[in-house]
A and B are shown apart, each in its own frame.
With several copies, the nearest count.
Chain A
Amino acid sequence: MDFNDTPEEAAFRAEARAWLEANAEPLAPGEQPASLEGRFDPEMVRKAQEWQRKKADAGWACITWPKEYGGRGATPIQAVIWSQEEARFKTPPNIFAIGQGMLGPTIMVHGTEEQKRRYLPPMLRGDEIWCQLFSEPAAGSDLAGLRTTAVRDGDDWIINGQKIWTTGAHYSKWGMIVTRTDPNAEKHRGITYFIVDMQSPGIEIRPIKQMNGMSSFNEVFFTDVRVPDRNRIGDVNDGWRCALTTLMNERHAIGGGAGGPEFRDLFRLARTVLWNGKPAIQDAGVRQRLADFYVRAKGLQYTSYRVQTALSRGQTPGPESSIGKLVGAPLRQNMAAFALDLEGAAAALLDRKAPEGALWQLAYLGSPGLRLAGGTDEILRNIIAERVLGLPPEIRVDKGIPFKDVPTGPRP
């Protein structure tokens, strides 16, 4: 048991670090990496694309992808090492993650050879940015309850409906959309998956303002939007199977809420904030809470070491890889709540004058979103219970009947 690279890993790490040092600037100590959250300006998109192209030219983009699409066929542990190293440098926010992490892999599995050749290389280079059009106002955790329709019209399909929680819709070239193509079929059987040009007429994009004032997501409205049949992924009415591939990759794309304060920040706060003239950390009650937070945060970190170890050994990581967000998101919220307790009355400030520049106020306002985005706590528990522990699935009242007959609200 140790934390060292194997000789091969060490060599790969050195190679990655050498290239990064030659092409990027390291983060200063304590400096936070650029966050995806917040408003996008075109300049930031341009810089992100520039960096992505530079990586692609040198063979450092999507390194696990096959060489024919621009990757280098790297192993999963090499991908981990690369991202560890890249995280030490000042880089633009990664606006390509959804495409490269979820949609590209879906195309690789379900796309035609022509689709792969057309879409994957510019996705890898960042020339074309992608967004995901899955959730709907009435289809969140119950994604297969989607109602956006696609109706065949000659060689095209006509799409109508509304999608929501779409990251980056306004700067994306392409979107991957799931639509209902047969409302008379069972819920999961009448769904078809398309690639849609986000500049098509009939698409309207509205940013969603979150409770923390940020806008990371959009609503996207479709009114008679035309998509050619050649943009279909998989067979007609077989889209749910393709969508599952996308969702399986989502866990990798959405982390445990990277960025934002961590245990060490809480520890620092407890050492600096004063209660009746003494640092709060001198209070034994504060210490009890700190210990529990520490153990939880470290448990999560060491669990990621176990996952890396499996990858390093060429094994598939065990189910422990699925606990990250379920532990991390509530932990962030609870640490923030406790930090605000420590701050006392000053917790009421969302102001530059707040302790630590309102670090914990912002975390408190942002953390509820972490518990919802990319699978709610409740959905994650169901996934762990069913897929990891083999417990029975939920009893379904929406199976075995046509989708249009599935209840969607209380009877009047």
Chain B
Amino acid sequence: MNFDFSDDQKLLRENVRSFLAKEAPLTLCRQVLETDGKYSTTLWQAVAAQGWLGTAIPEKYGGAGFGRLELAVIAEELGRVLAPIPFGSSVYLASEALLVAGTEEQKQRYLPRLSTGEAIGTLAHFEGAGDPGNRSLKSTVRNGKLSGEKTPVPDGEIADFALVTAKSGRDFGLAIVDLHTREVQREHLDSLDPSRSVAALRFERAPVEWLGGRPCGWDTLQHIFDRAAVLYAFEQLGGAQRAFEITREYTLNRYAFGRPIASFQALKHRLADWYVELELTRSNCYYGAWALSHEAPELAVAACGARVSATNTFELASKEMIQMHGGMGFTWEHDAHLFYRRARYLAAVLGPAPVWRERLVTCLERREEAS
């Protein structure tokens, strides 16, 4: 039984953590959030310089050639510091999608620039409130031109290109779009978590090519989302864990009625329950990481499990963080709301949480029927 990260991966974690402790204190997240700066270019460059953007990209495309376990380690650490950079959009979504479904030529064209951070990529799927299923998606490609509107697009304002979900007749695929062309209009949207930027993208007959050379089908999108879900789950886990640590510390040092407030069972037992949720989530995330790194057939179930668990736990954590800090936790000056906002942003970025639960059961049914 070897269900844990290796010593090398743990060493990586230590290095990443101490690097981020210096380069990405929570004040950096706050700074982006308060100045509406879209993202921290200094942190982005620092992260790029560390080679983290290309962690899971093979060396022949300019990456470091590590695996998804290393990427998961980095994701958890970025989650802990609420890193205000487009790492998820560019790495978990765009780079992974290219690796999974891109043509050789597309990989050669995009991956080297993604690994160095020269280019930022994203994936544009949602079309307003709710969840656009295969049936109701409105964006279309005709004769190699994309028309439609996507909102919200994570980092849509700062990305250089996007993979855009679209129909073409009865087919479905991901269209690669250069966002610097005239046929693309970008509109800034205010984000619930202004340390993470979102935008509306409008395409009017924008020239595209299909990811993979032809419409890849809905299942490929699901697979791309599953992969991203595992990595986002590690970010969520990291955020929830950090919120817990800050709160635990506070309840030990904040005195009321002559006692540390952590000594009141009302908080003490909830901290114990919170810890339990963190451990269960960590285990589900590990399973997701295993499935992702082994390209296992269990990936879909594992990814849904990690996402549901991590989304629940980060929401719980961010609520409890404020509540246990009392009035101070509700102020702008306190960091609690950074976690509260980020938890919601990460819950939203891959679509409605109930849809992930629904899909988990669908996967279980398929497995059952196959067996």
Docked-complex contact B283 and A283, CB < 8 angstroms: no
Measured between beta carbons, the chain A residues less than 8 angstroms from B355 are: 275, 344
Given contacts A142-B256, A306-B286, contact A344 B360 (CB under 8 A): no
CB distance from B254 to the nearest CB of A (A): 8
Write the chain A residue with the least CB distance to B335. Answer: A211
Contact with A along B108-137 (1 / 0, CB 8 A): 000000000000000001101111111110
Docked-complex contact B257 and A398, CB < 8 angstroms: yes
Measured between beta carbons, the chain A residues less than 8 angstroms from B358 are: 283-285, 287-288, 291
Contact with B along A4-46 (1 / 0, CB 8 A): 1110010000000000000000000000000000000000000
Checking B128, B255, B357 against A287 with a beta-carbon cut-off of 8 angstroms, the contacting residue is B357
CB distance from B92 to the nearest CB of A (A): 15
Checking B248, B323, B332, B348 against A377 with a beta-carbon cut-off of 8 angstroms, the contacting residue is B323
Measured between beta carbons, the chain A residues less than 8 angstroms from B282 are: 303, 306, 320
Docked-complex contact A305 and B283, CB < 8 angstroms: yes
* Complex interface residues of chain B between 325 and 367 (CB less than 8 A to chain A): 326-334, 336-337, 340-341, 344-345, 347-358, 360-361, 364-365
Most buried by B among A1, A135, A323, A347: A1
Given contacts A211-B340, A309-B2, A407-B255, contact A344 B136 (CB under 8 A): no
Checking B265, B281, B364 against A299 with a beta-carbon cut-off of 8 angstroms, the contacting residue is B281
CB distance from A412 to the nearest CB of B (A): 11
Q: How many of chain B's residues touch chain A, expressed as a range?
A: 35 or more
Docked-complex contact B252 and A391, CB < 8 angstroms: yes
* Complex interface residues of chain A between 246 and 290 (CB less than 8 A to chain B): 267, 271, 273-277, 280-281, 283-288, 290
CB distance from B295 to the nearest CB of A (A): 13
Measured between beta carbons, the chain A residues less than 8 angstroms from B349 are: 345, 348
Docked-complex contact B357 and A344, CB < 8 angstroms: no
Query: Which of A109-117, A191-199, A380-388 sits within the interface?
Result: A380-388
Q: Give the dominant DSSP class at B's interface.
A: helix
Query: Which of B12-20, B46-54, B303-311 sits within the interface?
Result: B303-311
How far is it, in angstroms, between the C-alpha of A5 and the C-alpha of B3 when the chains are bound? Answer: 11
Checking A1, A287, A323, A371 against B293 with a beta-carbon cut-off of 8 angstroms, the contacting residue is A1
Most buried by A among B1, B289, B308, B322: B1
Contact with A along B4-27 (1 / 0, CB 8 A): 111000000000000000000000
Checking B3, B193, B272 against A302 with a beta-carbon cut-off of 8 angstroms, the contacting residue is B3
Docked-complex contact A353 and B151, CB < 8 angstroms: yes
Given contacts A291-B358, A344-B131, contact A135 B284 (CB under 8 A): no
Checking B5, B69, B337 against A211 with a beta-carbon cut-off of 8 angstroms, the contacting residue is B337
Closest 10 CB pairs of A and B: A276-B133, A277-B136, A299-B280, A398-B258, A291-B357, A211-B337, A302-B283, A142-B256, A209-B332, A345-B126
Selected A-B contacts with CB under 8 Å, 12 pairs = A140-B256, A141-B326, A145-B256, A277-B135, A281-B365, A299-B279, A309-B2, A326-B276, A368-B322, A368-B323, A389-B248, A410-B260
Told that A323-B276, A327-B276 touch, could you supply 8 new A-B pairs with CB distance under 8 A?
A141-B256, A209-B333, A276-B131, A299-B309, A342-B129, A345-B349, A351-B190, A368-B340
| A residues apposed to B, CB below 8 Å | 1-6, 9, 77, 135, 137-138, 140-142, 145, 164-165, 208-211, 213, 267, 271, 273-277, 280-281, 283-288, 290-292, 294-296, 298-303, 305-306, 308-310, 312-313, 319-320, 323, 326-327, 333, 337, 340-351, 353-355, 361, 364-365, 368-369, 371-373, 376-378, 380-382, 384-385, 388-398, 406-410
